[in-house]
Structure 1
Amino acid sequence: MQSSIENLLDEALRLMVPDTKAWSELLTEDVIVDFPYAPTLGWPGRFVGRQAVYEFVNTALVEMPDLMFSNVRTYPTTDPNVLWAEFY
């Protein structure tokens, strides 16, 4: 059974491509997102804050309109409101 934070991640990944604005509204104001491969494309690897993450993803999706995620792995933490995840 998935936790509510894992359900939120599933919803976020489902929304990211078709409705980036709705997706970004699921993020906290102080979100930190690392894209470890982004620097190889000339983009920063870390974005801090909801607006910064939204702007990057919204711009990046222009070049990746059919983006899909696979191999989603989640790692619960001791805080039920925090989830570490990786996906490709």
Structure 2
Amino acid sequence: MTVAADLLLRHFQTLVADNARWQGLIADDLLWELPYGPGIGDPARLAGRDEVMRHVTWFLGAVENFRFFDIQVQAFADPEAAVAEVKAEAVIKPTGRLYRQQYVVFLRAAGGKIASLREYFDPTRAAAAMGKPILPQAS
């Protein structure tokens, strides 16, 4: 397993289940891109540990019984890059609704840490579970 593939697997294993351990995996200048985030009022990118942790803290407070499953990590020829397809489910605390999602996540590692994440998800599923409208995207 490459450095990036291992980090990506550990990202899924610890983000929710052991967030303190997850924080040790990320670079201080982590860039987390969420291209579909603006469709539900979330940012398109989080830059640096402080921004990432604000968003992750909000997320962890908004979900209950969150779990990732069917994790399929693929290493690239470049040992510092990997991609994964993963499913997740949780209950959204403010609405009590079930959240089911499929993600595709690209990871780039640097210095043995997660340097960047690019996460794709279906914003319509997130909006339905969170009781949020789908917002128009700027072109």
When normalised by structure 2's length, the TM-score is 0.50
SS of the residue aligned with 1:62?
helix
Indicate the residue corresponding to 1:60 in structure 2.
59
Q: State how far apart, in whole Å, the 1-side matches of 2:36 and 2:61 are.
A: 17
- Looking at secondary structure, tell me which structure has more helix per residue: 1
Q: How far off its partner does 1:75 sit? A: 5.7
- CA distance in structure 2 between the partners assigned to 1:48 and 1:75 by the alignment: 25
Counterpart contact for 1:75–1:84, Cα < 8 Å: yes
Please tell me whether Structure 1 or Structure 2 has the larger radius of gyration of its CA atoms.
2
Task: Name the one with the larger strand percent.
Answer: 2
30-39 or 75-84: which moved more? Answer: 75-84
Q: How many residues align?
A: 87
Q: Which runs of 5+ in 1 are unaligned?
A: none
Q: CA 1:29/1:85 → structure 2, altered by over 3 Å: closer, same or farther?
A: farther
Q: Which amino acid aligns with 1:41?
A: I
State the Cα distance separating 1:6 from its structure 2 match: 0.7
Q: 1:63 to 1:53 in 2, by over 3 A?
A: same
CA RMSD of aligned residues (A): 2.4
Query: In the TM superposition, what whole-angstrom CA distance separates every residue of 1:24-81 from its partner, at most 9, and x where no partner exists?
Result: 2201112111123322322212101122112211211211233333565656556423
Q: Which aligned segments of 4 or more residues in structure 1 are displaced greater than 4 angstroms? A: 70-79, 84-87
**Structure 2 unaligned spans of 5+:** 87-102, 104-139
What SS does structure 2 have at the residue aligned with 1:66?
Answer: strand
- Checking the alignment, whether the CA contact within 8 Å between 2:8 and 2:73 is kept in structure 1 is no
Q: Which has the higher contact order (CA 8 A, sep 6+)?
A: 2
Q: TM-score, normalised by structure 1?
A: 0.71
Q: Quick one: structure 1 residues 28 and 85, their matched pair in 2 at CA, closer, same or farther if it must change by over 3 Å? A: farther
- Percent identity over the alignment? 28
